[in-house]
């Protein structure tokens, strides 16, 4: 949806005129196109338009604020009263009890969408309602198809979008592209837009006429479902490269079906992200190194916790020795966090203690398993060991230089798949630094981590991450509010924790700075509420696997809201968990202390946790 000066005038003329329709001959052609594709106006005849239901809502919202904002005639030609950025800001405020942030307040207030107290106006809520209730048109001719083919996928700088007539505005009207918060400096093809672009990569090569529209998609769906389709329709689909051999879909046809699915999708796409720290990446590589180099020489040397820790300690000692040799007395030139660890290293007499005070192998292992990069299992001689998964091996291949990848970088890519989400300018800058985003689109590295973001996860929070999670009230909070009154070191630590909490799906940080609990986060918040203070990490993959195994082995007692397991069946539960008896027993005790388990039973908190994870991964 996009409304600029001429489109705004047309909306008001249709709303206030003596007639409820207008002859398009006297109107700005480009503005009519944009309104029509946004489904705000419809053609009564080839020369007359009228407001749609959504268009009337938006026109009334404009009429209610036009005397409180800059005069429409004074708007610059490129000024957007409504566009993807403004819609994203309104949607984010709705998620946070209709409150704006420092980023969104001025843009929304200047358009009549927020009052001086930082609250959304009735006009904003009406526009939001219209946006949700309105499905844009999809109408791509040969000219627009060629424009889409040569435009970069993004996220990338907005100036890389070719300037050809109002083509980029038509794409925004159809919700095929969106711009970054706060100023639209960057753009990206949305999930729907990417599906259209892929379709046009493989098909739609005709000299004139409609290349892709709803009627073409509906005919393709009939072909895919084996329904009878007129021969002349099949010929038209074959000419466009969507079918072959009369009734078989080509690659382009398969891609077009994905466009059709997205157009008809009712359930919103869940927020997903991913993160891995440099230390976690090093731990992952260490596990594989032990399997590749030590185990092959001596089957007794396997990646147990102790063996992994020993390897990582040696590596860290070598790393910090080199840093001290490089920087000498110039430690203040290092990043602050590393500077403090290096200073402690230079003063340390017990290197094992230095390592334990600054690093935590157990946390790294939990983090890796939560994202499915490793799994804890049992060796041939019964030891608890760690195996690198296929996804973990892909990450090792990418992580030759062991670098951190943050949630906000991966969100740059996953945000485009969701209806009301757009990237933030700062996310894009960081994504380029972390090499998940190239100049014009996602790098191969970025595509890997975007794919991993959508893989099933196990729940995990460290004690500190849980503390950060508790700082976020149910009503939501802005990043600025969360950091208010904190010094630079505290702010950095909170942001690091927030990044991990978000990557694991408990919260989402929106582009204009709001932090909201996800549905998964809300249920997990309730499930973890009984965890005693000072317990430590309130949930980790091993506890989850134990609770899940017991639930799958026991019997449900509906009235008690419990699953009970007979003591004699514990061995079966251990086998189901895939853990060693020793690891199972330790996690079983921890799960009882955390109140997920009772004596030989999974209680209500445990069931809530299991259901939350199941829903999150569905």
Q: How far apart are CA 73 and CA 89, in angstroms?
A: 25
Q: Which residues pair with 517 in a beta bridge?
A: 507
Q: SS3 of 125, please?
A: helix
> Where are the extended beta strands (E) located within 217-279?
243-244, 248-249
Other CB atoms within 10 Å distance of the CB of residue 253: 22
Question: Judging by DSSP bridges, how do beta strands 555-557 and 243-244 pair with one another?
Answer: unpaired
Helix (H) or strand (E) holding 58: helix 53-65
The pLDDT value recorded for residue 246 is 79
pLDDT at 36 over 80: yes
pLDDT in tens, 457-498: 999 999 999 999 999 988 889 999 999 999 988 999 999 999
d(CA 594, CA 540): 11
**CA 547 to each of CA 218, 366, 428, 565: distance values in angstroms, whole numbers, following the listed order:** 46, 16, 39, 11
pLDDT tens digit sequence for 194-228: 999 999 999 999 999 999 999 999 999 999 999 98
Cis peptide preceding 155, ω within 30 of 0: yes
| Per-residue pLDDT band at 420 (split at 50, 70, 90) | low
Percent of the chain with pLDDT over 90: 77
pLDDT digits (tens, 9 = 90+) for 49-89: 999 999 999 999 999 999 999 999 999 999 999 999 999 99
> Which pLDDT band holds residue 567 (cuts at 50, 70, 90)?
confident
pLDDT at 534: 81
Per-residue model confidence (pLDDT) at position 501: 98
What is the arithmetic mean of pLDDT over 246-268? Answer: 89
Identify the pLDDT of residue 239.
95
CB of 150 within 8 A of CB of 143? no
Average pLDDT of 563-574? Answer: 90
Report yes or no: 13 and 32 within 8 Å, Cβ to Cβ. no
- Using the predicted structure, report yes or no on whether residue 335 has a pLDDT greater than 80: no
Helix (H, G, I), strand (E, B) or coil at 369: helix
What's the confidence (pLDDT) of residue 184?
A: 93
Rounded-to-5 percentages of helix, strand, coil across the chain:
55, 10, 30
**Statement: residue 325 has pLDDT above 90:** no
pTM of the model: 0.89
DSSP string, 603-616: -HHHHHHHHHHHHH
Which residue would you say has higher pLDDT here, 564 or 613? 613
Helix (H, G, I), strand (E, B) or coil at 295: helix
Please report how many Cα atoms fall inside a 13 Å half-sphere around the Cα of residue 552, on the Cβ side.
Answer: 14
Say whether 586 sits in a helix, a strand or coil. helix
Q: Which residues pair with 51 in a beta bridge?
A: 41
Residue 284, beta-bridge partner list: none
pLDDT digits (tens, 9 = 90+) for 151-184: 999 999 999 999 999 999 999 999 999 999 999 9
- For 173, residues 6+ apart whose C-beta sits below 8 A from its C-beta are 1, 2, 33, 34, 35, 37, 38, 136
Give me the pLDDT at residue 370, please. 98
- For the segment 354-377, the average pLDDT, to the nearest whole number, is 95
Whether the bond into 182 is cis, omega within 30 of 0: yes
Pairing of strands 210-213, 243-244: unpaired
Burial class (CB in 10 A: 0-12, 13-18, 19+), 227: exposed
Q: DSSP strand E in 245-325: where?
A: 248-249
How do residues 279-316 score in pLDDT, each as one tens digit?
A: 999 999 999 999 999 988 888 899 999 999 999 999 98
């Amino acid at each position: 949806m996009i409304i600029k000066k001429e489109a705004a005038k047309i909306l008001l003329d249709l709303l206030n005129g003596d007639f409820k329709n207008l002859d398009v001959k006297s109107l700005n052609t480009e503005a009519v196109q944009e309104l029509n594709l946004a489904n705000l106006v419809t053609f009564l005849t080839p020369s007359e338009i009228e407001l749609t239901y959504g268009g009337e809502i938006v026109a009334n919202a404009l009429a209610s604020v036009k005397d409180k904002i800059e005069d429409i005639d004074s708007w610059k030609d490129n000024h957007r009263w409504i566009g993807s950025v403004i819609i994203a800001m309104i949607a984010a405020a709705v998620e946070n009890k209709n409150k704006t942030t420092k980023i969104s307040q001025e843009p929304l207030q200047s358009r009549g969408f927020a009052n001086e107290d930082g609250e959304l106006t009735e006009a904003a809520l009406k526009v939001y309602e219209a946006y949700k209730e309105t499905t844009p048109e999809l109408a791509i001719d040969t000219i627009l198809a060629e424009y889409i083919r040569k435009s970069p996928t993004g996220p990338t700088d907005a100036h890389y979008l070719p300037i050809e007539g109002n083509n980029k505005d038509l794409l925004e009207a159809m919700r095929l592209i969106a711009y970054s918060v706060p100023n639209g400096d960057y753009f990206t093809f949305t999930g729907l837009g990417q599906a259209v672009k892929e379709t046009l990569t493989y098909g739609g090569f005709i000299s004139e006429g409609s290349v892709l529209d709803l009627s073409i998609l509906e005919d393709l769906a009939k072909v895919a479902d084996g329904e009878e389709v007129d021969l002349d329709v099949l010929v038209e689909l074959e000419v466009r490269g969507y079918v072959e051999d009369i009734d078989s879909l080509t690659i382009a046809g398969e891609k077009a079906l994905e466009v059709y699915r997205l157009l008809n999708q009712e359930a919103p796409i869940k927020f997903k992200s991913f993160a891995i720290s440099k230390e976690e990446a090093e731990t992952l590589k260490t596990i594989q190194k032990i399997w590749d180099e030590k185990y092959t020489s001596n089957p007794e040397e396997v990646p147990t916790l102790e063996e992994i820790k020993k390897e990582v300690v040696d590596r860290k000692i070598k790393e910090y020795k080199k840093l001290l040799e490089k920087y000498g007395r110039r430690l203040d030139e290092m990043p602050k966090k590393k500077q403090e660890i290096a200073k402690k290293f230079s003063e340390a007499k017990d290197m094992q203690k230095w390592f334990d005070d600054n690093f935590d192998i157990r946390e790294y292992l939990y983090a890796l398993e939560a994202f499915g990069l490793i799994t804890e299992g049992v060796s041939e001689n019964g030891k608890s060991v760690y195996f690198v998964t296929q996804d973990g091996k892909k990450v090792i291949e990418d992580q030759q230089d062991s670098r951190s990848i943050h949630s906000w970088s991966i969100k740059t890519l996953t945000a485009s798949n969701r209806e009301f989400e757009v990237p933030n300018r700062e996310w894009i800058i960081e994504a380029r630094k972390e090499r998940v985003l190239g100049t014009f689109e996602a790098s191969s590295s970025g595509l890997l981590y975007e794919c991993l973001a959508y893989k099933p996860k196990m729940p995990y929070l460290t004690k500190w991450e849980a503390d950060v999670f508790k700082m976020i009230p149910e009503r939501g909070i802005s990043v600025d509010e969360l950091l208010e009154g904190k010094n630079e070191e505290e702010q950095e630590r909170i942001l690091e924790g927030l990044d991990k909490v978000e990557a694991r799906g408990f919260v989402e940080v929106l582009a204009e700075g709001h932090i909201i609990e996800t549905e998964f986060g809300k249920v997990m918040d309730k499930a973890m509420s009984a965890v005693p203070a000072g317990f430590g990490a309130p949930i980790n993959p091993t506890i989850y696997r134990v609770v899940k195994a017991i639930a799958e082995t026991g019997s449900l007692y509906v009235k008690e809201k419990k699953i009970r397991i007979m003591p004699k069946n514990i061995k079966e539960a251990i086998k189901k968990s895939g853990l060693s008896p020793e690891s199972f027993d330790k996690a079983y005790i921890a799960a009882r202390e955390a109140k997920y388990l009772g004596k030989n039973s999974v209680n209500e908190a445990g069931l809530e946790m299991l259901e939350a994870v199941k829903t999150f991964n569905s």
